[in-house]
Structure 1
Amino acid sequence: MGPVELLSGADARLVGLVSTLTASDLDLSSPCAGWAVRSLLSHTISSIDAFAAAVDGGSGPTEAELFSGADILGSDPLAVAEQSIGRSQRAWATIGDWQHPVTTVLGSMPAAEAISIITYSTLIHSWDLAVAVGRTVEFDDAEAALAEGVGAALVPALQPQGLFGPGVELGGDASPTQRVIAFAGRNPL
């Protein structure tokens, strides 16, 4: 499975989840300390926009806006999510050279690394959002493999900034999804 297909799957999961959210769900606490569903979903969509902007050259949120959790959902979170994801999918579909550098909020990197990071972010935050509203998420083998690889580099680099908590210890019978989530500082049990 290629990078665009992996991102498309993560995006589809996010849209599926958002399509079921109620207004009261948006006020629930998420596994990310200090972030309600509304603020975490706003951050997730802002992240998608930021990485799309890195590819298509359009406008995107600043780093401060990205991590503020400011409400960008308005009265129709699904429409906002679908618009952002549509832009993202169109942008990533234009990449012919995955080693071509793009400049993201995390710095300049090859397009292949950037799409892997936004896929990881979308996967992890979809899990966070699902758990917040009492649902479960299991990553498929390709998603878990991507998340393990990206997380191994990204989580330690961003932990000093408080963007990930310390890893959670699990037993040997943990699923691939549980291992990925625990490494990202969430308790998957």
Structure 2
Amino acid sequence: MDDMMPLMTRATEQTAALVRAVPHERLGLPTPCAEFDVRALISHLEWVAAMFEALARHEAPAEQGPYAGDFPERARRTLAAWSQPAAWEGVSEGMGLPMTTLAQMYLVDMVTHGWDLARATGQAYEPDPEAVERGLRFTEEMAEMGRERGAFGPAVEVPDDASPLERLLGITGRDPAWTP
């Protein structure tokens, strides 16, 4: 918990700032996630925040709802739930994974979906290097399970000299060269 909370907080705050900066007229733009336009991506982030808040409280995961426009508020509640020591204990009944694994999954979601949103809306994005490195190491270990569960698409090859962020994006099925 001690080393993850600062990473989760920075990644969440950065993604929330990106969400707040999206003007209404850009909600229909495409994103690197082919199944999502910007509105659907933000809606997905809202669900991710609600789901991981519930999981941190050892409750059943939330269901995906319609776009509400309240990701920053949900994200604050998620971080508050994970700031409790009990959030880190045991295995999630809803997901069948250790709570520490779920925290890593949340971090990867914040970093990669932050990139998705920034790329789709033309915003600058430089995620915390430590969060990227942590997410990359975790994702390298969990990529196959992520693909089996539908969380990641097929890996995208990146050059040998690709940055850690580009490697993370490629492993999760994103093309780091994607443009709208």
- TM-score tier after normalising by the smaller chain length: 0.7 to 0.9
Offset, 1:28: 0.5
Offset, 1:136: 3.9
What is the CA RMSD across the aligned residues, in angstroms? Answer: 2.0
- Matched residue type, 2:119: V
- Partner of residue 125, structure 1: 113
- Partner of residue 113, structure 1: 101
Gaps of at least 5 residues in structure 1 are: none
- Matched residue type, 1:115: A
- Partner of residue 77, structure 2: 87
Offset, 1:61: 2.0
Are the counterparts in 2 of residues 102 and 108 from structure 1 also a CA contact under 8 Å? yes
Are the counterparts in 2 of residues 38 and 71 from structure 1 also a CA contact under 8 Å? no
Separation in structure 1 between the aligned mates of residue 115 and residue 149 of structure 2, nearest angstrom:
21
**Between Structure 1 and Structure 2, how many residues are aligned?**
176
| Partner SS for 2:93 | strand
Offset, 1:15: 1.2
Offset, 1:162: 4.1
- Deviation string for 1:31-81 (max 9, x for gaps)? 01121011111111201111110122567523xx2xxxx5322xxx2xx11
Offset, 1:113: 1.2
- Partner of residue 159, structure 2: 171
**% identical aligned pairs:** 25
Are the counterparts in 2 of residues 138 and 177 from structure 1 also a CA contact under 8 Å? no
Separation in structure 2 between the aligned mates of residue 59 and residue 186 of structure 1, nearest angstrom:
29
Separation in structure 2 between the aligned mates of residue 154 and residue 112 of structure 1, nearest angstrom:
13
- Deviation string for 1:152-186 (max 9, x for gaps)? 23332132454322212222221111111111111
Determine which structure has the larger strand proportion and give its number. 1
| Partner SS for 2:88 | coil
Sort the Cα spacing of 1:27 and 1:97 in 2 relative to 1 into closer, same or farther, 3 A: closer
Sort the Cα spacing of 1:71 and 1:89 in 2 relative to 1 into closer, same or farther, 3 A: same
TM-score (norm. length: structure 1): 0.83
Gaps of at least 5 residues in structure 2 are: none
Sort the Cα spacing of 1:97 and 1:58 in 2 relative to 1 into closer, same or farther, 3 A: closer
Sort the Cα spacing of 1:23 and 1:111 in 2 relative to 1 into closer, same or farther, 3 A: same
Sort the Cα spacing of 1:97 and 1:131 in 2 relative to 1 into closer, same or farther, 3 A: closer
Question: Superposed, which structure 2 residues align to 1:137-152 within 5 Å?
Answer: 137-152=125-140
Separation in structure 2 between the aligned mates of residue 25 and residue 155 of structure 1, nearest angstrom:
31
Offset, 1:92: 0.6
1:4 aligns with 2:9: no
- Matched residue type, 1:72: Y
